[in-house]
Amino acid sequence: MANILQPTRGTRDLTGEDMARHQHVVETARHSAALYGFGEWQTPIFEDTRVFSRTLGETSDVVTKEMYSFEDRGGDSITLRPEGTAGVCRALITGGLTQTLPQKVFYAGPMFRYERPQKGRYRQFHQIGVELLGPATPLADAETISLGWRILQELGIAGEVGLHINTLGDAESRNAYRAQLVEYFSRYRDELSEDSKLRLEKNPLRILDSKDEGDRKLVADAPKMQACMTRDATAFYDSLLNYLTIFEVPHQHNPHIVRGLDYYNHTAFEFVTTALGAQGTVLAGGRYDGLVEQMGGPKVPGIGWAAGVERLSMLIAPPPTAPAPVAIIPMGADDEGRALEVLKTLRAHNIAAEMGYSGNVKKRLERANKAGAAFAVLIGARLELKNLADGGQTDVTIEDLSRQLRT
């Protein structure tokens, strides 16, 4: 026998309960997003590499180490999307939608990052996310965050998750802070990790987000953003926290939340759990007022977040399973024709029904029980409805059937 090919490293198949969990997360999010007035978009899973390289920042881990980029047969550089925001902004611009704002976007789908696979970290993973494009008011941030909180509540995991929130200020506050960070970290230049030495040149704020042990020690005593905040930026943040209180979203200020991508300003936040060890961030995002302009579009402020479906799937309780389809069982070979009529009738009435492809009555009943069916219909000289839970059996007509099985 030939070798059995294995799934590519960092990818996984979704079947059975894994699929049920995944689907439950996505459908719960989709439903909540609709309640907040967000409509769904789907953008391609691959884009021109520049859609990501120009926007995520040249010092972000995603761009420097994690992108799945390749040259296609026409010689163009293509990248499998590592995240959703850049593609949505690209679609906003190329679709001419910057004329019809606000746009409130929900998306769900696979993302790709070349990372070392471990629990909760894959090379193909899935995200749900939202983007609210247009308004620059803190109310937009609050609604977007409130939607994230609601989804976590609907999934039954809000109790294990806390919202950590920070402000990165406006351009003026950020520049002032940047200067302070450069001064501080330059004093410890030799102690910084190689990555952070580079960040010191290009985007010193990113050092605050470093996962390196040594960096983290230095970060603990680094200057805080607060002192550099302009009046406007402070007012924005205060207003946001006030709205969060109105929306009843518990939150705590955390000055170390800066997010890994370069395009954030003002709001940055993460919903964090202690239940998943090192992979504790389940939903994260922020405001990105300069991104659309940076991509060549007009100035369109935006706020959004993304959440890892795999990590959410691990946290939720097994979702309720729908009962298996009604089992249609012909008593003998001659009864197959009538059994097929029953099968067609039930499906026509939107009742899930299936008929096995082989086996005697006993085998078929065993299989129906094992599959978790609530009812079987036995088709012989008579038509009988069998309740598989208590074994009770009653004669029925085909007209009765669809009425009784519709629950």
Q: Is 281 in the site for ligand ATP (CB under 6 A)?
A: yes
Give yes or no for residue 83 binding ligand ATP (CB under 6 A): yes
- Burial (CB count within 10 angstroms: exposed 0-12, middle 13-18, buried 19+), residue 89: buried
C-alpha–C-alpha distance, residues 242 and 28, integer Å: 27
Which CB, 229 or 295, lies closer to ligand ATP?
Answer: 295
Piece of the chain touching ligand ATP by CB under 6 A; list 39-47, 305-313, 331-339, 375-383: 305-313
Nearest distance, CB of residue 131 and ligand ATP, angstroms: 13
Strands of the 353-355 sheet, one edge to the other: 353-355, 326-330, 375-379, 383-387, 393-395
Could you tell me the smallest distance in angstroms from the CB atom of residue 305 to ligand ATP? Answer: 8
Of the pair 264, 375, the CB lying nearest ligand ATP is at 264
Cβ at position 151, least distance to ligand ATP in Å: 13
Question: Pick from 52, 106, 107, 125: which binds ligand ATP (CB under 6 A)?
Answer: 125
Closest contact distance (angstroms) between CB of 179 and ligand ATP is: 26
Using the CB atoms, write b or e for 101-139: b if 16+ within 10 Å.
Answer: bebbbbbbbebbbebeeeebbbbbbbbbbbbbbbbeebe
SS3 (DSSP) at 340: helix
Pick one of 49, 127, 173, 273: the residue that binds ligand ATP (CB under 6 A).
Answer: 127
Under the binding rule (CB under 6 A), the answer on residue 375 touching ligand ATP is no
Quote the tokens at residue 309: 């479906």
Query: Of 116 and 231, which has the nearer Cβ to ligand ATP?
Result: 116
Minimum gap (Å) between residue 400 Cβ and ligand ATP = 50
Q: Is 84 in the site for ligand ATP (CB under 6 A)?
A: no
260 binds ligand ATP (CB under 6 A): yes
For residue 184, give the amino acid letter.
Y
Distance CA 41, CA 91 (A): 9
Q: Is 98 helix (H, G, I), strand (E, B) or coil?
A: helix
Helices (runs of H) and strands (runs of E) counted in the chain: 14, 16
- C-alpha to C-alpha distance for 187 and 181, rounded to whole angstroms: 10
- The Cα 329–Cα 166 span in angstroms is 61
Q: Mark the segment that binds ligand ATP (CB under 6 A) among 24-32, 174-182, 223-231, 304-312.
A: 304-312
> Applying CB under 6 A, does 21 fall inside the site for ligand ATP?
no
The full DSSP string for 46-66 is EEEHHHHHTTS-TTSHIIIII
> Which one of the spans 1-9, 148-156, 301-309, 337-345 is the region binding ligand ATP (CB under 6 A)?
301-309
**Quick one: which of 257, 282, 303, 355 contacts ligand ATP (CB under 6 A)?**
282
Nearer CB in complex with ligand ATP: 308/319:
308
Tokens of 307: 């959440």
Closest distance to ligand ATP from the beta carbon of 401 (Å)? 46
Q: Judged by CB under 6 A, does residue 310 bind ligand ATP? A: yes
Q: Using CA atoms, how far apart are residues 258 and 69, in angstroms rounded to an integer?
A: 26
Question: Sign of torsion, CA 101 154 282 63?
Answer: negative
- If residue 89 lies in a helix (H) or strand (E), which one and from where to where? helix 85-94
Angstrom distance (rounded) from CA 283 to CA 157 = 12
Nearer to ligand ATP, 143 or 310 (CB): 310
Q: What are phi and psi of 118, to 5 degrees?
A: -160, 180
* CB closer to ligand ATP, 286 vs 330: 286
Residue 311 Cβ vs ligand ATP, minimum distance, rounded to whole Å: 4
Give the total residue count for the chain: 407
State the DSSP code for 357. S
Judged by CB, which is closer to ligand ATP: 173, or 281? 281
| From candidates 303, 306, 314, 326, binder to ligand ATP by CB under 6 A | 306
Q: How far is the CB of 261 from ligand ATP (least distance, A)?
A: 7
- 3-state DSSP assignment of residue 283: strand
Site for ligand ATP contains 279 (CB under 6 A): yes
CA neighbor of 288 nearest in space, from 32, 36, 55, 110: 55
Whole-angstrom Cα distance, residue 366 to residue 360?
A: 10
Rule CB under 6 A: say whether 206 interacts with ligand ATP: no
Sites for ligand ATP among residues 28-67 (CB under 6 A): none
- Residues numbered 103-122 forming contacts with ligand ATP, rule: CB under 6 A: 113, 115, 120-122
d(CA 81, CA 250): 32
Sites of contact with ligand ATP (CB under 6 A): 83, 113, 115, 120-122, 125, 127, 260, 279, 281-282, 284, 306-308, 310-311
